[in-house]
């Protein structure tokens, strides 16, 4: 079988103005992806003070530049963030190909991908750097859309290239008021949204319409929110009442030294106090790191479940 030809990434031909944050192709300005996501899914920082946003922007820009210097010129600033980045790259086999790589569809859209890593002659991983104080579910969902659209544009621009993994590298090491540091070093992999759905989102925005997110909570489930909340409150109240009744019965049975009470439809059995011994496998493995435990481990399937928080 013929060897795969090594693909070199194409230049987008886009002129990017860092100050105005505009993308120019020939004589036409193209729209960016992050602005479109804010329009379609909402701006995440509406209630955040401007000075806080500016401080976060300065920190994020400096971090991007610091890691770009390392990837391009092996300049190690000696910062905690740079050390964390190097460790994440080692642990995940990340081989840097491009930083701030611009992709476009050649007519309407353009954006810069924070990091592109080569995994083979024709396959690349795509990464978005984040320096948030916390990675909320909303922020991760928006980053998933962002990375998926980047992957769509990347493959559109580089016809024979393939995108492998999509992930967020979340780095942060900022001092807090109490003297400790807000230290985060994490890699978060996300599932790619199909390109046809990404294209539909882009086309919908171009038409000036609101995109119907197929991953949003369905109307029929959202309509049940009040009922779900009521049922959970009822369940909590019932469990609390039952616990009180059981505690009272147990106290009376203990005072009378009774083991069993029964009616025509119910049986009450008092279990005596006891002790239970368990094997701390984690501690044992830590004390015996060279032992192979696989012959003694039992693997069982655990069914998926739903957690509802109100």
Residue 127 has a pLDDT of 98
Cβ-contact 145, 28 below 8 angstroms: no
> How far is Cα of residue 130 from the mean position of the Cα atoms in its chain?
11
pLDDT value of residue 48: 77
- pTM of this structure: 0.81
State residue 148's pLDDT score: 98
pLDDT at 167: 98
In 3D, which of 31, 39, 32 has the Cα closest to residue 213? 39
- pLDDT of res. 296: 82
Report whether 149 contacts 166 (CB < 8 A): no
Consecutive 10-residue runs of the chain (310 residues): their mean pLDDT? 81 94 95 95 78 88 95 94 97 97 97 98 97 91 97 97 98 92 96 98 97 92 92 93 95 94 94 88 83 82 87
Q: What are phi and psi of 277, to 5 degrees?
A: -105, 140
H helices, E strands: number in the chain: 8, 10
CA distance 87 to 93: 10
C-alpha atoms less than 13 angstroms from C-alpha of 35 in its C-beta half-sphere: 11
Q: Which residues of 197-222 are buried (b: 16+ CB within 10 A; e: fewer)?
A: bbeebbeebeeeeebeeeeeeeeeee
């Amino acid at each position: 079988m013929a060897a795969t030809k090594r693909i070199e990434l194409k230049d987008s031909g886009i002129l990017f103005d860092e100050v105005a944050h505009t993308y120019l192709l020939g004589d036409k300005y193209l729209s960016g992806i992050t602005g479109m996501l804010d329009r379609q899914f909402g701006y995440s920082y509406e209630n955040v003070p401007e000075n806080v946003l500016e401080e976060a922007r300065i920190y994020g820009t400096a971090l991007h530049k610091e890691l770009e210097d390392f990837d391009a010129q092996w300049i190690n600033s000696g910062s905690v963030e740079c050390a964390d980045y190097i460790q994440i790259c080692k642990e995940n086999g990340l081989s840097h190909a491009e930083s701030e790589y611009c992709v476009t569809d050649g007519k309407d859209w353009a954006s810069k991908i924070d990091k592109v890593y080569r995994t083979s002659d024709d396959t690349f991983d795509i990464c978005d750097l984040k320096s948030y104080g916390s990675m909320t579910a909303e922020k991760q969902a928006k980053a998933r859309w962002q990375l998926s659209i980047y992957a769509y544009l990347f493959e559109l621009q580089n016809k024979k290239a393939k995108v492998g993994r999509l992930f967020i590298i979340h780095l942060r090491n900022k001092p807090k008021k109490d003297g400790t540091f807000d230290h985060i070093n994490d890699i978060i992999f996300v599932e790619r949204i199909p390109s046809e759905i990404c294209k539909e989102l882009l086309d919908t925005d171009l038409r000036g319409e609101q995109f119907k997110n197929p991953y949003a909570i369905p109307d029929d489930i959202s309509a049940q929110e009040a009922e779900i909340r009521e049922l959970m409150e009822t369940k909590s109240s019932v469990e609390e009442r039952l616990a009180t009744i059981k505690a009272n019965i147990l106290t009376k049975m203990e005072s009378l030294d009774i083991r069993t009470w029964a009616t025509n439809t119910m049986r009450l059995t008092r279990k005596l106090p006891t002790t239970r011994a368990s094997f701390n496998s984690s501690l044992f493995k830590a004390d015996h790191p060279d032992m192979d435990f696989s012959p003694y481990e039992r693997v069982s399937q655990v069914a998926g479940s739903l957690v509802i928080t109100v």
